[in-house]
Amino acid sequence: MYDLFLTLILIVSILQIIVIAMQPTKTQNASNAFLGGATQLFGKTKVRGFEAFLQKLTIVLGVIFFALAIALAFFV
């Protein structure tokens, strides 16, 4: 059972890294984060399409990762 959970947590973590890397960046460069980032932060932030799917998938994979980590801790 331990090996199964360990394999699943490795698969989920690799998938989560891929999904996070596929998400588009919000700012163009580092200076936007300090100078013009506040206008984007409080502006219209409704995402649609593939970007919304990636955000939801990131949340789901994160929840699955933590659930597997807690389950794995019980088997150690």
pLDDT digits (tens, 9 = 90+) for 39-65: 555 556 677 888 889 999 999 999 999
Q: Which position has the higher pLDDT, 67 or 26?
A: 67
Please list, residue by residue across 27-51, b when 16 or more beta carbons sit within 10 angstroms of its beta carbon and e when fewer do: eeeeeeeeeeeeeeeeeeeeeeeee
> What is the C-alpha to C-alpha distance for residues 9 and 68, in angstroms, rounded to an integer?
6
In a domain, 2, yes or no: yes
Q: What is the pLDDT of residue 35?
A: 62
In a domain, 36, yes or no: no
Q: What is the pLDDT of residue 18?
A: 96
Q: What's the per-residue H, E or C state across 33-51?
A: HHCCHHHHHCCCCCCCCHH
In a domain, 29, yes or no: no
pTM above 0.75, yes or no: no
Q: Which of 25, 27, 51 is CA-nearest to residue 38?
A: 27
Residue 38 amino acid letter = A
In a domain, 40, yes or no: no
Q: How many domains are there within the chain?
A: 1
